[in-house]
Amino acid sequence: MNALAVHVSESTVFALVAILLARRFASASYPIWTAASLKFLVPFAWIAALGAHVSWQSAPLELREIVSSGDEFVSAALPPSADTGSGWIATLLVAIWAAGCLLVIARQVARRRRVAAIVRGAPTVTGGREFEALVRLSPRDGVRLAISQGALEPGVFGIFRPVLVLPEGFASTLTNGQLDAILTHELCHVRRRDNLAATVHMAVEAIFWFHPLVWWLGAQLVDARERACDEEVLRSGSESRVYAESILRACRFSLQSPPECHSGVTGGQLQDRVERILRREFGAQLGAAGRIVLAVCAAVAIAAPAIIGIARTPVAQAQQRSGNETFEVVSIKPAAANMRGYGFVTDPGRMRMMNVTLTQIILEAYGVQPFQLVAKDMPQQRWEILAKAPTHPSRVLDRRYQSMMQAMLAERFRLQVHRDQKVMAVYALGIAKDGPKMKESPEPGLSTKSSQGHVTATGASMLDVASYLSRRFGKPVVDVTGLTKLYDFKLDWTPDAGEMSAEPPDPDKPRSEEPNGTPSLFTALQEQLGLKLESKKLPVEMLVVDHWDKPAEN
């Protein structure tokens, strides 16, 4: 229901903007009204979903010491999710909508069937005055001419195989000029595919019957298409008085108007149309500036939701990319009150999350650092989770488990997140003047061992290094090296009491020793790994938590 409300609101705003544009660019009012109608059938969320395919890549896991445990868990199948919505209200609203939709469709179908029966019974004309005039005016349009027995208004029926129907005896009441004007008007409808646009808007009226603006748009579409055809008839050389008289003769002769999905000659605001025809009022042609403005508006309408989809990648997308990589079964229970430390351990075919909070699971699953997480009132409850996964030979914390964890969070914790960006003061991790000095890792899979002033890592990416340094300095560290491979390295330095607030030295003048005679972490990075840190302000990707629920235990 929320998604429908958002879509209707977006379409309403879009239609209001269309009103302003149509008043400013009257000669382009018909395509503007058509776009406003189509918007009701195309939610911005669909365009955003297409943009979401160009998504931000999740950052790799942080460098973290893995905590082992001998505790065993009992696996159990995932329980069915509980429906917490107000189901009866939603059911009632859907029933009301469906009833209204069916009534509108029934009315549309009844009118169309009545007219279709008349058209089917109308014999095709292949000669005579009307046929010769039609061939002369439209030798290539392939329009079939038929004469109806009923007093049906002259009009074009059908979309892909149009039939021009004239009531029997109508042509005999018209002069040659009046007949040419009527036929030119109807052929203009054929060339513009007005019946197709009218049929699409009928679908809009059936689906959004409850919205008064939809019905108002329908009237504007009819008026705009008739005005456009009137102008085309006058530009073709017809005299305004002759053309106005032909329309009035059609009104007097006909008793039945065609349905909305077929184009007649007397549609729109008839009195206003006749007055404009007699005054030979032509809409001003759309200039270059107007075309540019409308093109920009159309581009913004399409590009804006696509960009939002790129910037706000939902959690569902990560699950879709993961394909079948989901945990087979998951067991969740509260952690023991006296348990200390926490960790994530993988064995072939299972993953254990020990003494972890929801925040820690999110950080691990999405590979983000604490400063990148935007969340309010996150629970402090700690959990012990055992997840059974498809067998995998690696015994280290493999990155492929991230997508499984994301799916678990969405299923069991009802987690909903999106990504955003924020400009902040950071350390930029770049390549030092002499280039990187790390060894490429032969196998994937992050493994680390660390102690005071020492780190040994295998299978580490530059984002892993940035994550570790961020924790050391208490300040965001952003990878700008451009290095995409995994590396093995050792790093030794002497921790400084002021390390958490220290500023990096001039990267072009590395110091081999600090005043106490041992390298600082800044200098060790340059000399041992060929990396440097610089203070900058950069856009940083943030992970925003929109919603979460407490999971059911099992």
Structure tokens, 222: 């009819």
The pLDDT value given to residue 80: 38
- Conformation bin of residue 116: beta by default, left when phi > 0, alpha when psi is -120 to 50: alpha
The pLDDT value given to residue 531: 93
Residue 82 banded pLDDT, cuts 50, 70, 90: very low
Which residues share a beta bridge with 420? 542
CB neighbours (10 Å) of residue 515? 8
Helices 2-24 and 212-235: angle between axes, nearest 10 degrees = 30
Q: What is the mean pLDDT of residues 101-123?
A: 87
Query: Of 543, 542, 541, 536, nearest to 430 (Cα)?
Result: 536
Q: Would you say residue 506 has pLDDT above 70?
A: no
Residue 99 banded pLDDT, cuts 50, 70, 90: very high
Kindly list the distances between the CA atom of residue 394 and the CA atoms of 58, 183, 197, 408, 428, in Å, as whole numbers in the listed order.
21, 77, 58, 21, 32
Residue 357 banded pLDDT, cuts 50, 70, 90: very high
**325 and 506 in contact (C-beta within 8 Å)?**
no
Three-class DSSP category at 429: strand
The pLDDT value given to residue 265: 58
Q: Return the residue matching tokens 């351990």.
A: 345
The pLDDT value given to residue 459: 83
The pLDDT value given to residue 255: 56
Q: What is the mean pLDDT of residues 452-481?
A: 85
The pLDDT value given to residue 543: 92
Helices 129-137 and 176-192: angle between axes, nearest 10 degrees = 50
Residue 61 banded pLDDT, cuts 50, 70, 90: very low
Residue 209 banded pLDDT, cuts 50, 70, 90: very high
CB neighbours (10 Å) of residue 366? 22
CB neighbours (10 Å) of residue 12? 17
The pLDDT value given to residue 105: 93
Determine which of 73-82, 176-185, 321-330, 509-518 has the lowest per-residue pLDDT on average: 73-82
Residue 5 banded pLDDT, cuts 50, 70, 90: confident
The pLDDT value given to residue 276: 83
Q: Would you say residue 15 has pLDDT above 80?
A: yes
Rounded to whole angstroms, how far apart are CA atoms 65 and 61?
12
Kindly list the distances between the CA atom of residue 74 and the CA atoms of 329, 334, 384, 401, in Å, as whole numbers in the listed order.
10, 13, 11, 20
Q: Would you say residue 74 has pLDDT above 70?
A: no
**Higher-confidence residue: 530 or 284?**
530
**389 and 401 in contact (C-beta within 8 Å)?**
yes
Q: What is the mean pLDDT of residues 315-340?
A: 70
Q: Would you say residue 102 has pLDDT above 90?
A: yes
Residue 159 banded pLDDT, cuts 50, 70, 90: confident
Rounded to whole angstroms, how far apart are CA atoms 136 and 129?
11
Rounded to whole angstroms, how far apart are CA atoms 550 and 379?
9
Tens of pLDDT, residues 414-439? 999 999 888 888 899 999 988 999 99
Would you give the distance in Å from CA 369 to the centre of its chain? 27
Tens of pLDDT, residues 512-530? 444 455 688 888 899 999 9
The pLDDT value given to residue 529: 92
The pLDDT value given to residue 287: 63
Q: Across 462-506, where does the E strand assignment appear?
A: 477-479, 487-492
Structure tokens, 524: 């060790």
Q: What is the mean pLDDT of residues 470-483?
A: 85
Q: What element of type H or E holds 549?
A: none
Tens of pLDDT, residues 131-157? 888 888 877 767 888 888 766 778 888
Tens of pLDDT, residues 226-262? 888 888 888 888 888 888 888 888 877 765 555 555 5
